[in-house]
Structure 1
Amino acid sequence: MGRHSHFRFWSIPITPSSDGRFLRDANGRPFFWQADTAWLLFHRLNYTEAEMYLSDRASKGFTVVLAVGFTQEGITSPNRNGDLPFVGKDVQQPNEPYWAYIDSIVELATDKGIRICMVPAWGQYVHDSANNPGVLTTSTASTFGHFIGQRYPYLPKTLVADTNPWWENKTAVKADYTAGGVPPTYDVIDWSPVYDALATGIIAGERDAIANSTTWSPLLTIHPTNQWFSGGPLALASAFLGDRSWLTLDACQSGHADFPPNPPIPWWNARRGWEPVEQMYAAGAQDGAHVRPVLDNEPHYENRYSNGNNAHPWWNASDVRTGSWQAVFSGAAGLTYGANAVMQFSIPGLYASDGTGPGDDWLVDLTLSGSGQMQWVQKAIRDRGDATYFQRVPAQDIIMGDAGVDDQRVTATRDSAGSWIMVYTPTGEPFAIDTTSLVSCDDVQASWFDPLGRDVQNVRVRLSGR
């Protein structure tokens, strides 16, 4: 794997802010993570289609797109151009035409002001649900990671997608639980050495690409599942790997299911995406040595059935919009959106939909209304100005009385210096707040902001103490 230089990519590093809570660009300015999920972008779209997709997302304020290099399609599956990812199915021998095409899409995104969040490989290539090892091992992962880091320096990266380092035999657990009786004791395999090898390879590759810097650390995380095993770490990046210096971004997947799980495999509730965000934020506060920006990097996709099952309703724009506001106000450094047919780029007659949603054409789901509504979260946060951007803190304690439950919860954030408060209500029902955190609460200027971006109404109110 020879040295490969892409200087265009080097000018766009995104790093944690000085307090570790937010993201900033190379000039120290606030960077709001407004991401779209496009797992199979490099694999299923041709260049013209990719340009159409990225233009749409840029016009809607997206700053990040998540895409996979070595995709879930498999090591023997060629991309739209007919190129395989590796030579001879060897992950230590990348096939140049395959990755050159990825280069072209990364550069196209860069031209439109979008950072690609590179997912080097899908999680199944570390292990599958039955705990069988994949092609990424402690030795091959390091070599592959170095290739990714050296070729794509400064791009944010999430190591692997949709898997956790600590795993039992999920297939056997589910089968034994369904059969009833006392489940046996399962062997736990900790796959974190493979994650470590991939991460250290990426870091070494990036440092080689930027003249052997010994201080640079990329924005790096993992993409956990929304599930975990009873007795094991929660499905949070920091719960598994919180002591790793290479983990510079904390992430979760609140997922797509809104009903109680069946033990012994718990999962996050999609109507409570703010819950894992709060837990990650609190963990950083308790462990001052490892404060990281936090993200819900896979909430429910618009136009996906609950739990991906057509026996249930699908998530609409209101659902995904509500979850995004709540997560950001709970401390997230941004949001991640997904449209079900877009994240898989289903194309009728060419790439069949996986059946997890009512749509089967990515061009149709590209225009779903939720995608255009995500920008208003970013604009509301950025509207306070750069001076206070890095002072924002969760402020659930200022809600007086019953804040509501699940996705009906009223959620608040504020400036820690006391200049402003913002409150999101998904229902429009009356609520009360404690304003004593404001520097002056004698004469408060208040305004209503429509989360659909339609209008703003300013009102003056007089408040005394509370």
Structure 2
Amino acid sequence: MHLKASLFSIAVSAVAAAWNVPPEYGLMPSSDGRFLRDINGQPFFWQADTAWLLFHRLNYTEAETYLSDRASKGFNMVLAVGFTQIGITSPNRNGDLPFVGKDVQQPNEPYWAYIDSIIELAWNKGIRICMVPAWGQYVHDSANNPSVLTTSTAPTFGHFIGQRYPYLPKTLVADTNPWWENKTAVKADYAAGGVPPTYEVVDWSPVYDALAMAIVAGEQDAIGSGTAWSPLLTIHPTNQWFNGGPLAFASAFLGDRSWLTLDSCQSGHTDFPPNPPIPWWNARRGWESIEQMYAAGAQQGARARPVLDNEAHYENRYDNGNSVNPWWNASDVRTGSWQAVFSGAAGLTYGADAVMQFVIPGLYAPDGSGPGDDWLADLVLPGSGQMQWVGKAIMDREDATYFRRVPAQDIITGDAGADDKRVTAMRDSAGSWIMVYTPTGKPFTIDTATLVSCNGTQANWFNPLDGTYRTFDFVCAGSNSVIMFTPPVEDGHIDWTLVLEVKS
């Protein structure tokens, strides 16, 4: 079996080496820095799925099954890790290790050739890969100890990634932050009580910089010095930060870096603080970190970047990853995605718990963070099919308005609600439409004065479960632009999106 796997890897290597990532793969910020566009300037709505261990745990046939499903549901981006979190000595499904002799400066060709083949397969199905070159633990661990990626080794590895995979969006490392204390000690000392000691803070950003700049240089070497190109590049923070340190989003740590072209956060999977005194984002308020990143980009002298919540609560994952708690369902992940996008995000990132880790019965056991025990079962969870309707609601408007959409929480009058019960609004800055998402089905009141016209405005309720519109009569109220709207009553859900669009 191992011999067959090795022969397969060699065959894939020979095929994959002939495929070069095309320039059309590239994505870049819009002219105002807020959203994403392709090489032709067309809008790109980031609809990503989380598949951290795609390259490591699935064989080619399984990868095709996975990617075909996600393509059928409108996903156009998949997050996957090159040097994965399960270790430098852990072989992939074909029996290949990521490096020769555990040296991150010596990539093992068959391992990366197989990754090439999956990237090409995804592209042929209309899906881009957002690559995580290495999990964050390879810079430092929870206790703040250094690992194999250092300022000495990161340049070689980063150049390899950039040169081999130009145009792919990339998140440098995942699930950690460059400003770090000994988290293990912080938690233990807090549990023990008493006066906590002063913890050493280590700024690991020199390693991040070394990796990032090498990726940029590698991409430039791959595409040629005569082509102007800046990679879509960010980090994938953990949802936690330390008191006195930057908030956990990319720009808070590295906002002055020219290589940071995308801002991101992780609102995470928990709606309570289980590890004081370490603060973290509340999973029921995923819009909160989006609002703060968006606002930071609007400050005088700041650089506006597209913003994303790159890890919101996974469907079928326990709250806090603990089996004593209920798991997040389709309604939870659906609501969080609508609220984040309407708060200014350039798209959304979905995850299903058994899929992101690719649980395979008898081969790869689940990590216990959710009830799912087979990735194929979690592949068809209902939330995965509902994510596409967020993008549809936006893309159904004219292309020109795509780059004019702005958060519009100020048009909601009265109590908008809190946490994941909050009514959230977005509008076209030129006044051609307003959209309002309600997760509760209760009446809400908005000020429609930003519309360029009341007459000729078409009103619809958009169904977040199936992407259909329900037109209703919209009567202008004279000089009074403040109007109450009552969502329809329908079995199966209570959330709706109001769409008011000027048609004449």
Normalised TM-score (structure 2): 0.90
Aligned match for 1:126, one of 139, 143, 159: 139
Per-residue CA shift, 1:380-421, capped at 9, x if unaligned? 010112121000000000001000010010000000000000
| Larger displacement relative to structure 2 (211-220 or 362-371) | 211-220
Q: 1:52 is matched with which residue?
A: 65
Distance 2:189 2:460 in 1: 55
Contact 2:19 2:120 survives alignment (8 Å): no
What is the one-letter code of the residue matched to 1:170? K
Q: 2:363 is matched with which residue?
A: 350
Q: CA shift at 1:11, angstroms?
A: 2.6
Q: 2:329 is matched with which residue?
A: 316
Q: CA shift at 1:212, angstroms?
A: 2.0
Q: State the superposition RMSD in angstroms.
A: 1.1
Distance 1:260 1:409 in 2: 21
Aligned match for 2:248, one of 235, 245, 249: 235
Report the secondary structure of 1:138's partner residue.
coil
What is the one-letter code of the residue matched to 2:419? D
Distance 1:126 1:144 in 2: 13
Contact 1:13 1:25 survives alignment (8 Å): yes
Aligned match for 1:15, one of 28, 48, 65: 28
Q: 1:141 is matched with which residue?
A: 154
Pairing 1:104–2:117 present: yes
What is the one-letter code of the residue matched to 1:235? A
Report the secondary structure of 2:244's partner residue.
coil
Map 1:301-380 onto structure 2 (within 5 A).
Answer: 301-380=314-393
CA pair 194-210 structure 1, distance change in 2 beyond 3 A: same
Report the secondary structure of 1:243's partner residue.
coil
Q: 2:491 is matched with which residue?
A: none
Q: 2:444 is matched with which residue?
A: 431
Q: CA shift at 1:455, angstroms?
A: 3.4
Distance 1:313 1:135 in 2: 37
What is the one-letter code of the residue matched to 1:144? F
Per-residue CA shift, 1:64-116, capped at 9, x if unaligned? 00000000010010000000000010000000000000000000000000000
Q: CA shift at 1:440, angstroms?
A: 1.0
Distance 2:154 2:240 in 1: 24
Pairing 1:418–2:431 present: yes
Map 1:4-83 onto structure 2 (within 5 A).
Answer: 6-83=19-96
Pairing 1:405–2:418 present: yes
Contact 2:316 2:371 survives alignment (8 Å): yes
What is the one-letter code of the residue matched to 1:7? N
Report the secondary structure of 1:221's partner residue.
strand
Report the secondary structure of 1:104's partner residue.
helix
Contact 1:443 1:462 survives alignment (8 Å): no
Distance 2:22 2:99 in 1: 23
Structure 2: runs of 5 or more not aligned: 1-16, 483-504
Per-residue CA shift, 1:271-297, capped at 9, x if unaligned? 000000000000000144411000000
Q: 1:159 is matched with which residue?
A: 172
Q: CA shift at 1:213, angstroms?
A: 4.3
Task: Provide the aligned length of Structure 1 versus Structure 2.
Answer: 463
**Percent pairwise identity:** 81
CA pair 244-8 structure 1, distance change in 2 beyond 3 A: closer
Distance 1:287 1:71 in 2: 39
Distance 2:262 2:21 in 1: 23
Distance 1:363 1:301 in 2: 15
| Larger displacement relative to structure 2 (175-184 or 450-459) | 450-459
Aligned match for 2:260, one of 241, 247, 252: 247
Q: Considering only CA atoms, is the larger Rg found in Structure 1 or Structure 2?
A: 2
What is the one-letter code of the residue matched to 1:79? N
Distance 1:411 1:109 in 2: 33
Q: CA shift at 1:453, angstroms?
A: 1.2
Distance 2:277 2:205 in 1: 22
Contact 2:21 2:166 survives alignment (8 Å): no
Distance 1:99 1:46 in 2: 14
Distance 2:263 2:159 in 1: 22
| Larger displacement relative to structure 2 (83-92 or 449-458) | 449-458
Aligned match for 1:88, one of 75, 98, 101: 101
Distance 2:362 2:462 in 1: 43
Q: CA shift at 1:303, angstroms?
A: 0.1
Report the secondary structure of 1:273's partner residue.
helix
Map 1:144-223 onto structure 2 (within 5 A).
Answer: 144-213=157-226, 215-223=228-236
CA pair 454-252 structure 1, distance change in 2 beyond 3 A: closer
What is the one-letter code of the residue matched to 1:392? R
Contact 1:277 1:296 survives alignment (8 Å): yes
Report the secondary structure of 1:35's partner residue.
strand
Structure 1: runs of 5 or more not aligned: none
Report the secondary structure of 1:92's partner residue.
coil
What is the one-letter code of the residue matched to 2:105? Q
Report the secondary structure of 2:440's partner residue.
coil
What is the one-letter code of the residue matched to 2:109? E
Per-residue CA shift, 1:215-273, capped at 9, x if unaligned? 32100000000000111100000000001010000000000001135432001000000
Distance 2:206 2:373 in 1: 38
Report the secondary structure of 2:134's partner residue.
strand
Q: 1:280 is matched with which residue?
A: 293
What is the one-letter code of the residue matched to 2:291? E
Contact 2:52 2:80 survives alignment (8 Å): yes
Distance 1:422 1:95 in 2: 50
